[in-house]
Amino acid sequence: MTRAESIPVAELGEVQAKAELARLAQEIALHDAHYHQRDAPVISDSEYDALRQRNTAIEARFPHLQRADSPSLRVGGAVLDGFEKSTHARPMLSLNNAFSDGDVADFCISIRKFLGLDPDEPLHFSAEPKIDGVSATLRYEDGIFVSGATRGDGFTGENISENLRTLHDIPLALKGGDLPRVIDVRGEVYISHNEFAELNQRQEAQGKPVFMNPRNAAAGSLRQLDPAITAQRPLRFFAYAWGEISVLPADTQMGVINKFKDWGLPTNPAIQRCKDLDEMLAAYKQFEQERATLGYDIDGVVYKIDRLDLQERLGFRTNSPRWAIAHKFPAELAQTVLEAIEIQVGRTGALTPVAKLRPVTVGGVVVSNATLHNEDEIKRKDARIGDTVLVRRAGDVIPQIVEVVLDKRTADSVPFVFPVICPVCGSHAVREEDGKTGKQDVVRRCTGGLVCPAQAVERLRHFVSRDAFDIEGLGEQNVQLLFDANLIKNPADIFRLNRKIEDVKKAFLKKREDDALEREERTGKKRKKILDESKRTFKEIENLISSIEARREIDLERFIYALGIRHVGQNNARLLAKNYHSFANFHAGMKGAYTRDSESSQDLLAIDGVGAALVEALIEFFSEPQNDKVITALLDEVTVRDFVAPAAASPVAGMTIVFTGAMEKMSRDEAKARAQSLGAKVAGSVSAKTDIVIAGADAGSKLKKARDLGIKILGEDEWLAVIDQRD
Catalytic residues: 130
Contact between 430 and 336 under an 8 Å Cβ cutoff? The reply is no
- For 346-463, strand residue ranges (E) read 351-362, 365-371, 388-394, 398-404, 429-433, 440-446
Rounded CA-CA distance 495/389 in Å is 47
| Rounded-to-integer distance, Cα 661 and Cα 695, Å | 6
CB distance 641 to 469 below 8 Å: no
Residue 706 CA to residue 715 CA, distance in Å, equals 13
161 neighbors 341 (Cβ within 8 angstroms): no
- Are the C-beta atoms of residues 262 and 270 closer than 8 Å to each other? no
The DSSP string of 494-547 is HTTGGG-HHHHHHHHHHHHHHHHHHHHHHH-PPPPPSHHHHHHHHHHHHHHHHH
Q: Determine contact, residues 89/184, Cβ cutoff 8 Å.
A: yes
Strand partners, 350: 445
Q: DSSP for 463-502? A: HTSTTTT--TT--HHHHHHHHHTTS-SSHHHHTTGGG-HH
Q: What share of the chain is helix, strand, coil (3-state, %, to 5)?
A: 40, 20, 35
Phi, psi of 291 (to 5 degrees): -50, -45
What is the amino acid identity at position 49? D
For residue 312, the one-letter residue type is E
Half-sphere exposure of 724 (CA within 13 A, CB side): 5
Strand 365-371, strand 324-328: pairing: unpaired
- Cα dihedral 447, 453, 457, 463, rounded to 10, equals 40
341 forms beta bridges with 355
**Closest to 578 measured CA to CA, from 514, 499, 630, 643:** 643
> Is residue 8 within 8 Å of 58, Cβ to Cβ?
no
Query: Which amino acid does the sequence have at 526?
Result: K
